[in-house]
Structure 1
């Protein structure tokens, strides 16, 4: 079968086969996909394809088998999910995490950035200085003040309001 003959066959048979497979699957997009896949498989064997006595029947059979195979695969997946629902792989933050984030939010931005980069991102003082464009001494001071403020915010029994009333400045 030449390329032109195959193109003509495709143009005439594709809409009809999609309609037939749509009736089988109930999904127009799925019908188009399986018919297209069947035509791709026919293209791969186009040299002997015209020797087939009923090329449209061959395409239809392949497309139906593809549709049934996809349906079975989807059904197996659905049964698997019903019996073994996917585990929640990302647990929510614990109460400690929430308290820490809330305390970090209360710090001035420069202190918060220094504390996070040093303690959570494991950057050195020098790396933080380069990343923030601040002198190393400034980074050290921000870390010191940030740690002290966090200690006050996270210590039980004391609140930031009491610290403010006592005249401490963060």
Structure 2
């Protein structure tokens, strides 16, 4: 199938296939996505698709399989979500946690990242360097600067004394 023939097939069949898949699946957005993906796959096979071989049927079948596969993935995700739901009530974060999160948010992203990787993920300087692609010396520098910047933000005793 030549490019022009494929373009003609797309122009004529796309709206029809989307309507058909919408009726089959009950979801217009999913149908449109599936038909679009089926046409992408057909494009890569356009040289082997022949008009006499009903390329529209091949595209419709492919779109249906894609839609079914998507629905299965969504259903599986939903089942996993239901199985692993969070407790109905979630405790409020402690004042210390809020303070730490606010203090970290005030830091430059590079310092924030290495502090989290070092103290929360328990990574060594070498591991942080490898994960971030940053030289170890730079990681050490960012850690030192981050700690210096955090110290006054986290000094709660000093803040409490000034309020008393």
TM-score, reference length from structure 1: 0.57
| Consecutive unaligned residues in structure 1, runs of 5 or more | 102-119, 125-142, 154-158, 161-170
Task: Name the SS of the counterpart of 2:48 in structure 1.
Answer: helix
Matches within 5 A, 1:135-154: 149-150=158-159, 152-153=161-162
The one-character-per-residue Cα deviations of 1:32-87 (angstroms, maximum 9, x if unpaired) are 11001101111101111016621111110000000000001100110010011258
CA, structure 1 residues 97+31, in 2 after alignment: closer, same or farther (shift >3 Å)? closer
| Consecutive unaligned residues in structure 2, runs of 5 or more | 101-144
Say which one has the larger Rg. 1
- Structure 1 residue 40 corresponds to structure 2 residue 49: no
CA distance in 1, matches of 2:11, 2:44: 17
CA distance in 2, matches of 1:12, 1:71: 27
May I ask how many residue pairs the two structures share in their alignment?
115
List structure 1 segments (4+ residues) > 6 angstroms apart after TM superposition: none
TM-score, reference length from structure 2: 0.58
Select which of 147, 154, 160 maps to 1:122: 147
